[in-house]
Structure 1
């Protein structure tokens, strides 16, 4: 039995605690927030329990399925046919299936063929090692053509990654395309999953499992320092007390790591500090009427400053329509400090552009959430930039969402990595990262 402290009660941290307890270790989880769950946590939206930031499940997400089985909640998983569209030239264009591609007016015949072939072949590939040193823009332009990138991708990339838009890994983009491309009922029908009760169902099950196995979850305990002596981790000091530790798994965003672990060598601190992140302001609207019949809508319009909207109620059934409007941006962007009321009004006006039938009285409630480290910026060659999970300090493992690369942020990769980290507690083995391009 190893006395273990998990820093961070997001899905990965909670899963790591669950798996570590199953292996017989003593576990405390410390979390700065007043609630568990991290990005998967819910809030009370005028009587509806809903995620702060939307989540969905894809059919390739095997680690999620294994975790749900382990927790006894696999029967809460539901699948639903979903669809996507582009909003461009003042109207919605259905997307994501052969018929939509063949009939769209957004692309010409040659563009349709090249785009369709690239996306189809990407969804069938098992490895992207040849794309690790290639930018997403170069890969798309080579496969589908420069005109396709300009018409379908440029604005989306610019509004998600700003100054980094031309410096995003093709391997990362291709892996996202593959994950969603393989989550289908048929060639003509996308199908995504959700949990009854939302992500809170998973969070509650993880917390219950931890407490049932004798672990403890300490909320509102911001960590001040992960302590080490003579090259080995010794404890975690929080604003409310200190926890002895023989092993620590830290799951907070990598930009925080150098400040939390002063005992790290400078070279390690520099490696964490070098990982760039984009923030997100997510406006959530509860509406009396749906905006579209689609789960996600990409937006190509010079007058709309968001890359798209997620109509979550078209995946998880709710009494009213629930729409997420994400503004991705660096936290030093001028709009980051915009008043909530201004963001709510602007984002609702965008929804009205998409659906002119939407009236002001159709808006029931709105909420604004901000997250400074929402999306790691994965540039070409990013795999070599990720530090080892096992730090130079014995017993200290560090991983956040950038360690999922080339996969994107998601519960499934968090569950996989959590299990790997739990399995090496107390040993000298390095956690087995998923083969980077398998």
Structure 2
């Protein structure tokens, strides 16, 4: 039996702690925040418990289903027919199925044919190693033409990745298209899933399972330093004391790792520091009326500062409309420091542009979340830059959302990687257990 300290109580950290506890290890989870869940954590939106950052489930998310079955909550999975839209040229258009593509304005017949073939191939292929060294822009332009990239994709990449927009891996965007494309009940109907009562259902079930197995979750106790003897971990220091450990699993964002683990070799620190992240300012609105019939609307309008609108209540039914409006930007961006009220006012104005019936008078409640490390920047060749999960310090494993690559962020990948790290924890040798 090993003493395991998990740093971070997001979905990956909780999954790692659950599986480690199930394997018989003694587990302590350290979380800087006041709530467990990380990006899946809930907050109160005028009486509604809702995720601060939206989540959805696709039919290929097998690790999520397996974990829910283990926790006895498989019956809390819900599926709903959803759709996607494009707002461009001042109008909202349905998107995401063959008929919608045929009716979409602004594309020639040849462009529609090329786009449809490309989307079909993306969905059907299981592996595509050549994409690892190609950029998304070059790949899309090669298959669909530069005009299609300009009309459908340029705005989305520019507003999400800013000056890195032309240097994003094709493998990363392909896996996103494939994941959603495979979550369909028919060629004409997308179907996405959610956990009944939200992600908190899964987070709470994980917390109960960890504690039932003898583990401990310590909220409001950030890890200050992973202590080592130079060759192996000894424990984790917090402002409340020292937690001895035979194994440490860190799930904090990689840019924070060098300060957290000062004993890492310089070359390893440099690899973590080189991984870039984009932050997000996420406006969450409760409204009196719906904005659109779609779950997800891509926005391609040059004078609108948003790339998309997620009407979450079109997936998880709620009494009032719930809409997420994310603003992706580096935390160094001048707009990052804008007051919450300015983001809310701008987001509502954008919704009014999409649906003229929506206005400030429809806002029941509004909240703004800010996350410094929301989206890893994944350039071509990114896979080779990711350090191994197992570090040169014995007993220390490190991973965050960039380790999902080429898959995008999601609970399923958190669960998969958390299980992998838990299984890699070896029973502590007797001489270390007695420390």
Which band: TM-score by shorter chain?
Answer: over 0.9
Aligned length: 428
Residue deviations 1:115-169 (CA, integer Å, cap 9, x gap): 1110111100010201110000000000011110010000100000001100000
1:209 alignment counterpart: 209
Distance in 1 (CA, whole Å) between partners of 2:56 and 2:214 is 30
Structure 2 residue 401 is matched with structure 1 residue 401: yes
Distance in 2 (CA, whole Å) between partners of 1:154 and 1:218 is 44
Task: State the shift of 1:303 in Å.
Answer: 1.2
Query: SS in structure 1 opposite 2:147?
Result: helix
1:235 alignment counterpart: 235
2:156 alignment counterpart: 156
1:117 alignment counterpart: 117
Distance in 1 (CA, whole Å) between partners of 2:294 and 2:154 is 22
Structure 2 residue 387 is matched with structure 1 residue 364: no
Distance in 1 (CA, whole Å) between partners of 2:373 and 2:291 is 29
Distance in 1 (CA, whole Å) between partners of 2:64 and 2:4 is 23
CA contact (8 A) 2:84 2:294 kept: yes
2:180 alignment counterpart: 180
Superposition pairs of residues 221-260 of structure 1, within 5 angstroms: 221-260=221-260
Task: State the shift of 1:360 in Å.
Answer: 2.1
Residue deviations 1:211-266 (CA, integer Å, cap 9, x gap): 11100000000111011003000000112221000000000000000000000000
Distance in 1 (CA, whole Å) between partners of 2:91 and 2:71 is 44
Distance in 1 (CA, whole Å) between partners of 2:92 and 2:369 is 27
Superposition pairs of residues 99-114 of structure 1, within 5 angstroms: 99-114=99-114
2:433 alignment counterpart: none
Residue deviations 1:65-108 (CA, integer Å, cap 9, x gap): 10000111010000000000100011101000000000111311
Superposition pairs of residues 10-409 of structure 1, within 5 angstroms: 10-409=10-409
Distance in 2 (CA, whole Å) between partners of 1:251 and 1:267 is 20
1:431 alignment counterpart: none
Query: SS in structure 2 opposite 1:408?
Result: coil
Residue deviations 1:296-338 (CA, integer Å, cap 9, x gap): 0000111111110100000000000000000000111111000
* Uncovered stretches (5+) of structure 1, i.e. residues with no partner: 429-438
CA contact (8 A) 2:2 2:427 kept: no
Task: State the shift of 1:427 in Å.
Answer: 6.6
Deviates more, 1:352-361 or 1:290-299: 352-361
Query: SS in structure 2 opposite 1:165?
Result: helix
Distance in 1 (CA, whole Å) between partners of 2:171 and 2:131 is 5
Query: SS in structure 2 opposite 1:164?
Result: helix
TM-score relative to the length of structure 1: 0.97
Residue deviations 1:270-294 (CA, integer Å, cap 9, x gap): 0000000000000001001100000
Aligned CA RMSD, in angstroms, stands at 0.8
Distance in 1 (CA, whole Å) between partners of 2:116 and 2:319 is 36
1:434 alignment counterpart: none
Distance in 1 (CA, whole Å) between partners of 2:356 and 2:305 is 18
Distance in 2 (CA, whole Å) between partners of 1:143 and 1:239 is 54
Task: State the shift of 1:171 in Å.
Answer: 0.4
